[in-house]
Structure 1
Amino acid sequence: MAKAAWVTGGASGIGAAVSRRLASQGYRVLVTDVDVSGGEAVAAEVGGVFRRCDVREPADSLAAVEAAVAEFGGLDLAFLNAGVATGFGLEEGFTPEAYRRVMSINLDGVVYGVHAALPALKARGGGNIVATASLAGLTAVPFDPIYGANKAAVVGLVRALGPLYAPAGIRVNALCPSFAETAIIKDVRDVLVGSGVPLLEVSDVVAAFDAILAGSGTGEAWYVQVGRPAEPFAFRNVPGPRTEAGDKAPSADPSVQITAFREN
């Protein structure tokens, strides 16, 4: 039986490129997007199925997974890739409505996608969830703090879900590219190029996606940077607790999943 994949934001850019790569590897692909014409074109190209899906709406993600199961018999991979640029900070241009829109697409869309995909992946005995975050989720982003915030939240979510669902055979990882040649940067491309910022080719991001699937890790955030091989970002552990005398605090029950709060 062919493996089945669900791709959000699949009408263009990274989502479309990954849909093509997955199809070339034998996956049946459910392409979803709010761009109906673009999504239908990609789905037809890869021999897949298209469904409109607004990732801000939990019911849309649930319906997408139901469609994948109905069309393909199950689900093995969810690539939660839909995202938008922010383009405003906390002063000029800020409104609660604009803020909620970008947070709901870039963060809530991943949360709703994971929630929808988990039962189908468990029914298959395991699988993969890959969420598109950004290098902006791994560093301070003073020029776009809200984008940095929602992408950092995606990274934090993935790092927590990785060990949580490893026993079920489900790997959860994040793809964290720098600026790539896609429509999402159209409003800032000239500024980036004028500032000497090198842009990734979409093929570089697809290669990193392939590397994630080929690996065995989970809860990882794979950075993709021009001129460097993609690999998991090395996070430093938080300082562990100490007694009043300055000694290591007694180890907690290892069955309790709060390891990060008691490691050195």
Structure 2
Amino acid sequence: MTRVVVVTGAASGIGAAVARHFGRLGAQVVVADIDVAGGTAVAEEVGGLFVRTDTTREEDNLALVAAAVEAYGGLDFVHLNAGIGDGGGFGRDDYDAARQHRVLTVNLHGVMFGLHAALPVLAAHGGGSLVVTSSMAGVGMAPFDPVYAATKYGVIGLVRSLAPPWQAQGVRINAICPGFVRTPILPPEAIDHIVGEGFALADPAEIAASVAEIAAGEEVGQAYVLQAGRAPEPVAFPRLDLARADA
């Protein structure tokens, strides 16, 4: 059984649901978020540890992993879930370079810092599993938020590129690509629109159960689409064989 779990962006939404899921399984859960009140409440609920973490700061990611090891003696599973949306567009009225930079920093650089902090520690403690939250926007398109989509494509590129070398050290890396999920990242008007268009909204607890299933599996370098009422669906990436000079 997974014993020590770290979840970023765990004060609400998918992250909180993942923390609760593993807490119910008896794991020692480390809740990481910049939201002190929300994160503390989730940590108290699961009998775990809250560590205030700004994932855009490399030192915060390193301190988070160190706190987990100091408190519980090791590390078995990490879910790099923290992320934000609304990077804006490229039109005259919605282009905002500062806002775009913030989305890039949280969604891509924050994941890179988390991977850098967690992977060596997972390997040193006998291996384990790491899941990164991407999005269906990372395998499709999001005309309403192209910068967000770009970061989620980037996350999958990281996962697929890092998975083979770290598999050799006993660490399994995968990504999840949730569809529409009822979380605080979706404002009420967006939820009303999604439901009105006939799309199903997944509950965060449903996503959390899929995350636990993926974490316990043996696959590596996969990106799983998670939608309401469906089992995790691996994305069918093209096989890229390098051409041989003598072929």
Tell me the TM-score normalized by structure 2: 0.93
The C-alpha deviation readout for 1:129-177, integer Å capped at 9, x for no partner, is 1001111111122222111100010011101111120000000000111
The C-alpha deviation readout for 1:99-121, integer Å capped at 9, x for no partner, is 11111111111110010112211
Equivalent residue, structure 1, for 2:234: 232
Specify which of 187, 212, 216 is matched with residue 218 of structure 2.
216
Work out whether residues 160 and 219 of structure 1, in 8 Å CA contact, stay in contact via their aligned partners in 2: yes
Equivalent residue, structure 1, for 2:43: 43
Equivalent residue, structure 1, for 2:88: 88
**In the TM superposition, what are the counterparts of 1:50-89 in structure 2 within 5 Å?**
50-86=50-86, 88-89=88-89
Give the C-alpha shift of residue 240 in structure 1. 5.0
Give the C-alpha shift of residue 3 in structure 1. 1.7
**In the TM superposition, what are the counterparts of 1:115-154 in structure 2 within 5 Å?**
115-154=116-155
Work out whether residues 208 and 222 of structure 1, in 8 Å CA contact, stay in contact via their aligned partners in 2: no
Amino acid at match of 1:32: A
The answer to which structure, 1 or 2, has the higher relative contact order (CA under 8 A, 6+ apart) is 2
The C-alpha deviation readout for 1:14-52, integer Å capped at 9, x for no partner, is 111110111122211110101000000000011101011
Work out whether residues 8 and 82 of structure 1, in 8 Å CA contact, stay in contact via their aligned partners in 2: yes
Amino acid at match of 2:139: L
CA RMSD in angstroms comes to: 1.8
**Structure 1 residue 110 corresponds to structure 2 residue 117:** no
Equivalent residue, structure 1, for 2:15: 15
How far apart in 2 are the matches of 1:14 and 1:211? 15
Work out whether residues 85 and 185 of structure 1, in 8 Å CA contact, stay in contact via their aligned partners in 2: no
Structure 2 residue ranges without an equivalent (≥5)? none
Equivalent residue, structure 1, for 2:167: 166
Equivalent residue, structure 2, for 1:24: 24
Give the C-alpha shift of residue 97 in structure 1. 1.1
The C-alpha deviation readout for 1:174-207, integer Å capped at 9, x for no partner, is 0111010000111622332232222112122112
Give the C-alpha shift of residue 250 in structure 1. 3.5
The alignment partner of 2:21 has SS state of helix
Equivalent residue, structure 1, for 2:209: 207
Structure with higher Rg: it is 1
The alignment partner of 1:182 has SS state of coil
The C-alpha deviation readout for 1:219-263, integer Å capped at 9, x for no partner, is 11011123432132111224753xxxxxx6447xxxxxxxxxxxx
Residues matched between the structures, number: 245
Moved more, 203-212 or 65-74: 203-212
How far apart in 1 are the matches of 2:172 and 2:41? 30
How far apart in 2 are the matches of 1:134 and 1:205? 12
Tell me the TM-score normalized by structure 1: 0.88
Equivalent residue, structure 2, for 1:192: 194
How far apart in 2 are the matches of 1:190 and 1:172? 35
Amino acid at match of 1:96: A
